[in-house]
Amino acid sequence: MPWIKSKTALVVLILSAILGLYAWLSAVKSPVIFGLREDIKQAIAYQPVPKGVDSLSAETCGTCHRAIYEEWKTSIHSQTFTDPFFQAYWRKDKHIWVCLNCHTPLQNQQPTVVSGLRGDRVDRPLTEPNLHFDEALQQEGVTCAVCHVRDGVIHGPFDDAVAPHPTVYDPKFRSTAICYTCHAVPAAKLQFYNGGPCATFLEFEAGPYKAKGYICQTCHMPEVERPIAEGGPIRKGRSHLWRGGHDPEQIKRALTVALAADQATLAAGKRATWTLTLTNSGAGHMLPTGDPDRYLQAEFEVVDAAGRVLSSRSMTVKRWILWWPVIYEYDDTRIPPFQSRDVTFSYPVPRRDEGLTLRVRVSYHIVTEGAYQRLQKKYGLTVEVPHVFTLYEEQVPLREGTVQRQAAARPTSPRCAPEQAHQDGMG
Ligand code: HEC
Ligand code: HEC
Ligand code: HEC
Ligand code: HEC
Ligand code: HEC
């Protein structure tokens, strides 16, 4: 029958179109979730050891810059290579070379030299072995030399340093330009993000803090007055701490939580509504920012005396991204600076006291539980990495739940202030 023939033909046509599209997509699509800017296509060229110091290792710098070394050592920048999450995801991405240009960016830290790409494809690098490969330096990730050493000279924020090594004043250190290279991860073609996979820099540029005179360092490298080298004069410098999503205290600095009931006194037998308001009161960019795995979760629960959850409601604050067959960001519920997100919850207030409790919780997640388990099962994550932090928790007897409070999730430590002392170096 001609009708069947044409129907079969149609099915074959559709199938081959899907297959063709799939083949085309897999040929054109980037094997990684980001694109390549010109300046991250290559490692930072090979760096010789500056005169007056014994090696490029952070420990060597630390013999004279003790305090700074100790801070860096506790920061994520010293772990950008050894970080178990990086190692697991890197294995997932088949140890592709390009990750190293931000996670261990010096040529000295990379086992191969990439001289070009075949057909401009990230997964087809032209490589040769690196005779200068320093495996110990690789372990140090974003080490001192990554930011400070160029062509045998140590770059820094001062123009009057008297050091045993060559130094040069570089205005970049008191601007956001020094963070841009790695913290503005762009999209490749056929990847439809708003701004790229890690767009912290762009979020800051578009936000209100820049006009107020802040730079990334204002909040991530708090000011300190101390000798910058053992025995040197006291100077106004900055701590090398870089706290971010792995530090619950830092996340709390970004967030203010308010919980309010719609009635001053809850009426028994009537429905009451509570509103939880999350405000980004302290981050210079979206909350959360960076790695698209990060999210905030706000939850309401009514729990009975036996601990059973009778009713619940939650809100997830994150980027909503379709990862396959193409990367497409279809929504973004993260909180821009000084803005808020509300979640409301209603429940009938019982006439008699049944021992019900209203529980409210806000938590920060580095990755989802599902992703975490996949990293364990498939990609060799063996150590336990803290990846969920409770930022705010409130438990009240439901009948007395006349909550009307502003609870800052923020700890008591001083908040960062805009750049006044550093007006000269704003970027
Ligand atoms: C033997 C001691 C010593 C070692 C080792 C050393 N430094 Fe220094 N460094 C100094 C002294 C002293 C100063 C100047 C202090 C001053 O003027 O207040 C200085 C200054 C600096 C400055 C400020 C420069 C400027 O112009 O702003 C930077 C940045 C710096 N060092 C980085 C490093 C790095 C990175 C290493 C390791 C590769 C290193 N130092 C190794 C002693 C040392
Ligand atoms: C050479 C690349 C590079 C430069 C330059 C750089 N960073 Fe980073 N930074 C990274 C990488 C890679 C990570 C993630 C490490 C990880 O989690 O494995 C990171 C992590 C961070 C984190 C912590 C994120 C977390 O998950 O806790 C903060 C905060 C941060 N950087 C701030 C800065 C600031 C501020 C600057 C500029 C002064 C800067 N960085 C410059 C590469 C860089
Ligand atoms: C991600 C980039 C980055 C890394 C890695 C880094 N620094 Fe810095 N460093 C900076 C910035 C930015 C400043 C400027 C701070 C300011 O405005 O005073 C700075 C300033 C300094 C200064 C001058 C003193 C001061 O507080 O301004 C010294 C000395 C220094 N760094 C040494 C080190 C040493 C030693 C290491 C490794 C243990 C290191 N840095 C790692 C970015 C970096
Ligand atoms: C007004 C203070 C402020 C400024 C300015 C600021 N940040 Fe942050 N940043 C925070 C706070 C607070 C957090 C923790 C909450 C969060 O993750 O949003 C944070 C988190 C981060 C993280 C962690 C993301 C992750 O994956 O866990 C990175 C990376 C970061 N900032 C980089 C930057 C860079 C780069 C700039 C400049 C372009 C910058 N920040 C400017 C306050 C600030
Ligand atoms: C253009 C620079 C750049 C490149 C290239 C890059 N990263 Fe990153 N990566 C970062 C920065 C910056 C962060 C940290 C802060 C954030 O969350 O934005 C980060 C964070 C991460 C994290 C989160 C770590 C944690 O502890 O949560 C993982 C995992 C990671 N990168 C893996 C990779 C892999 C795998 C590749 C290669 C396929 C890669 N990165 C390539 C800049 C880069």
pLDDT tens over the chain, length 427 residues: 455 567 888 888 888 888 887 777 777 788 899 998 988 889 999 999 999 999 999 999 999 999 999 999 999 999 999 999 999 999 999 999 999 999 999 999 999 999 999 988 899 999 999 999 999 999 999 999 999 999 999 999 999 999 999 999 999 999 999 999 999 999 998 899 998 999 999 999 999 999 999 999 999 999 999 999 999 999 999 999 999 999 999 999 999 999 988 887 788 888 999 999 999 999 999 999 999 999 999 999 999 999 999 999 999 999 999 998 899 999 999 999 999 999 999 999 888 888 899 999 999 999 999 999 999 999 999 999 999 999 999 998 887 755 555 454 543 333 455 544 333 333 2
Q: Which residues pair with 347 in a beta bridge?
A: 272
From ligand 4's centre to the CA of 184, what distance in Å? 12
Same domain, 204 and 271: no
From ligand 5's centre to the CA of 90, what distance in Å? 9
Task: Please say whether the dihedral angle defined by the alpha carbons of residues 64, 68, 73 and 77, taken in this order, is positive or negative.
Answer: negative
Residue 9 placed within a domain: no
Domain of residue 359, residue span = 248-408
In the prediction, which pLDDT does 16 show? Answer: 85
From ligand 4's centre to the CA of 251, what distance in Å? 9
Domain boundary among 185, 211, 242: 242
Does residue 334's CB lie within 6 angstroms of at least one atom of ligand 3?
Answer: no
Burial readout 278-317 (b: 16 or more C-beta within 10 A, e: otherwise)? bbbbbbbbbbbbbbbbbbbbbbbbbbeeeeeeeeebebeb
Residue 26 placed within a domain: no
From ligand 5's centre to the CA of 9, what distance in Å? 47
For the whole model, what pTM was predicted?
A: 0.93
Atom 36 of ligand 4, nearest CA residue: 216
**What's the structural domain count of the chain?**
2
Residue 413 placed within a domain: no
Atom 41 of ligand 2, nearest CA residue: 179
Of 147, 210, 219, 334, the residue with max ligand 4 atoms within 8 A of its CB, to mutate for a pocket test, comes to 219
Please state the atom number of ligand 5 nearest to the C-alpha of residue 85. Answer: 29
Domain boundary among 213, 242, 271: 242
Same domain, 212 and 262: no
Residue 2 placed within a domain: no
In the prediction, which pLDDT does 24 show? Answer: 73
Residue 27 placed within a domain: no
Same domain, 224 and 263: no
Same domain, 66 and 159: yes
Same domain, 392 and 333: yes
Residue 21 placed within a domain: no
Same domain, 202 and 289: no
From ligand 4's centre to the CA of 393, what distance in Å? 23
Same domain, 90 and 182: yes
In the prediction, which pLDDT does 309 show? Answer: 97
Same domain, 234 and 253: no
Question: CB under 6 Å to ligand 5: residues?
Answer: 32, 40, 83, 85-86, 89-90, 93, 96, 98-99, 101-103, 182-183, 185, 198, 200, 290-291, 366
In the prediction, which pLDDT does 192 show? Answer: 95
In the prediction, which pLDDT does 2 show? Answer: 54
Residue 278 placed within a domain: yes
Same domain, 232 and 270: no
Atom 22 of ligand 3, nearest CA residue: 156
Same domain, 196 and 285: no
Atom 28 of ligand 4, nearest CA residue: 244
Residue 72 placed within a domain: yes
In the prediction, which pLDDT does 413 show? Answer: 38
- CATH number of the domain that 401 lies in? 2.60.40.10
| Distance from C-alpha of 132 to C-alpha of 110, rounded to nearest angstrom | 9
